[in-house]
Chain A
């Protein structure tokens, strides 16, 4: 029993032919199938038709011939396809079969003749002028021979029907040609649209500038079917020399930089093509001296005044330049222009974002610095507050206690403490004011030439009483011909006083030495003691504000914690340096230097508080 799939396969074979049948023969196969259908319908129909037995026999013979013809065609079609593709074979074969049918039906004068019109139109629509004319010629030839045999000459009806048959074939063939041309045009158009789609799909793979340019070159190479495509970005897109080069799609189908003669050729062409036309595109292929053909597309956008780039396509001599429709070219130019524009915008954006990030980084650093300054200020205030509260506490407590104690010696002790703590308080206030003024640039400096030797002697004299009271040994070694310095005498005296005060404080019962001399361009002043000394880790901190260093197990130092910071500020304002050398347990030496005064000029800017560390030339 035949199953449904078998039947379906048999019908498919009957109508469409074997699966491996070439596409050019499928129409031919279908006509064979139509002939088989005709035979199958006509064969039983002949039994019912009111015709003579002779006629019926002749008709069956014709049908038999048709069947044999069909089998022959089906067998030979695949072996010699060119025989059938042209259509001549089929047209003439069909013509002979139809003549036989007409003969059976009553000859050329019978109404059966109309069958020939149908078949002629069908052949003309299938194969065009040639086979249709061949068919008509076959009819006319057989008809003519028959007419001559029957009438002896060409009759009117023969000439009339032959003429019409010829005209019909001509018209049908013409219509067929029109339809074919339209179809070919449509196919070309579809192919170009496909190409455009494929080419534009290659664009926009990347927003990065370089890969985007490469994708444009590759897309153009695909669209024009040429390896010789070059892209010349316009001047305002190119940020450096590297950007202005021609990107070229070479034989290996790899976008690369083109060099040598080809580059020069493309560059010249691109310049030539882009210069005379202010906007729009060159759509005409132009012949180049070498016999090559060249086309240039100016890639521009309505939103942009200047063009973005010029795309040069070159077809070597001997190859056909693809004839792309203008709208396809326009569309391609527009899309590539957009790709380049986007990539260039993206690049600008990326650069901008790098700038912004850098600016943000700078801002963050500045912010941190400000926070640091703010913290320093807060710490300073907290320290000042702390240092003010301590002597205030003593003053307040002992003032109150005074009332409860009648003993004169105790009251004297209390008053002594109140007095010394008040002094400490006023020292602190003065120091805070000094350092604030210096560091905010509001200090009034009374700059003049200063004899440093007299400053040192005055300071030493001030300390004589204290030195004697503390049972100290004091040495003084001041060079005789100490040159002048330029500075504020009172402030310099303050520096020396602070240093001597520190030495006396930390070297009870020891030795304090004051030394001064000249060394090259500078005068140095040293204050040494053989006191408790400063630990190495504390040496840098002694010049910082409120850093009272050391181990104060026995007696709390009575300083403000600002003395050395003020010394440093004053010395540095005079373009000097201050430092300490110390050995823990065996004493410290504080030294500062000042530039020797030679003439006034190098110091002029000191008046305005401009502290540049520079030493005057000797």
Chain B
């Protein structure tokens, strides 16, 4: 219990929540290659349960998903005091300005649009987790 929470979380897995299997698979490969541990979930409800259980340092969140969309999941994460140190990157195919604004308003740390650049994703993940 003397350890700092951030050091624990830094080593904890990143959770990917998306209903597109290939997106999950590509992100998994990408982040594994960069040396991170990864957990996946195929819808909002399942994802939120995993986030609460694992308390990850970072969550990748799609928006249009069955069973609780990304905005709702993000809101739930932000309302949970146990998840205060969890970063949220919204990764969506909704690319309009209004969608970005809604994402940030809902508490996202980052909003990235599909199709994404793998290099950029890796860079943002490093930045976010190093600053923690």
Please give the residue numbers on chain A whose beta carbons come within 8 Å of chain B beta carbons, in ascending order. 382, 385-387, 389-398, 400-401, 404-405, 417, 421, 551-556
A382-B96, A396-B117, A552-B19 known; A401-B26 Cβ under 8 A: yes
Task: Decide: A553 and B66 in contact? CB cutoff 8 A.
Answer: yes
A386-B64, A404-B33, A551-B66 known; A394-B118 Cβ under 8 A: no
Q: What residues of B have a CB within 8 angstroms of the CB of A555 in the complex?
A: 21
Task: Decide: B26 and A389 in contact? CB cutoff 8 A.
Answer: no
Taking the closest CB of chain A, its distance from the CB of B96, in whole angstroms, is 7
Task: Decide: A394 and B67 in contact? CB cutoff 8 A.
Answer: no
Q: What residues of B have a CB within 8 angstroms of the CB of A551 in the complex?
A: 66-67
Task: Decide: B94 and A382 in contact? CB cutoff 8 A.
Answer: yes
Q: What residues of B have a CB within 8 angstroms of the CB of A393 in the complex?
A: 20, 22-23, 26, 93, 114-116
Taking the closest CB of chain B, its distance from the CB of A262, in whole angstroms, is 77
Task: Decide: A390 and B20 in contact? CB cutoff 8 A.
Answer: yes
Q: Find B20's partner among A394, A396, A554 (CB 8 Å cutoff).
A: A394
Q: Find A386's partner among B27, B29, B94, B118 (CB 8 Å cutoff).
A: B94
Q: Find A389's partner among B67, B113, B117 (CB 8 Å cutoff).
A: B113
Taking the closest CB of chain A, its distance from the CB of B69, in whole angstroms, is 13
Chain B: which residue is nearest A404 at the CB level?
B33
Task: Decide: A401 and B30 in contact? CB cutoff 8 A.
Answer: yes
Task: Decide: B116 and A397 in contact? CB cutoff 8 A.
Answer: yes
Q: Report how far A554 CA is from B43 CA in the complex, Å.
A: 10
Task: Decide: B26 and A397 in contact? CB cutoff 8 A.
Answer: yes
Chain B: which residue is nearest A417 at the CB level?
B22
Q: Report how far A194 CA is from B20 CA in the complex, Å.
A: 95
- Looking at chain A's contact residues, the main secondary structure is helix
Q: Find B66's partner among A396, A405, A552 (CB 8 Å cutoff).
A: A552
Taking the closest CB of chain A, its distance from the CB of B97, in whole angstroms, is 12
- 7 residue pairs A–B, Cβ–Cβ below 8 Å: A389-B95, A390-B23, A393-B26, A397-B23, A401-B30, A552-B19, A556-B19
Q: What residues of A have a CB within 8 angstroms of the CB of B95 in the complex?
A: 385, 389
Q: Is B130 an interface residue (CB 8 A)?
A: no
Chain B: which residue is nearest A394 at the CB level?
B22
Task: Decide: B115 and A396 in contact? CB cutoff 8 A.
Answer: yes
Chain A: which residue is nearest B26 at the CB level?
A397
Task: Decide: B27 and A401 in contact? CB cutoff 8 A.
Answer: no
Q: Mark B21-44, 1 if CB is under 8 A from A, else 0.
A: 111011101100100000000110
Q: What residues of A have a CB within 8 angstroms of the CB of B25 in the complex?
A: 417
Q: Report how far A392 CA is from B115 CA in the complex, Å.
A: 6
Taking the closest CB of chain A, its distance from the CB of B58, in whole angstroms, is 18
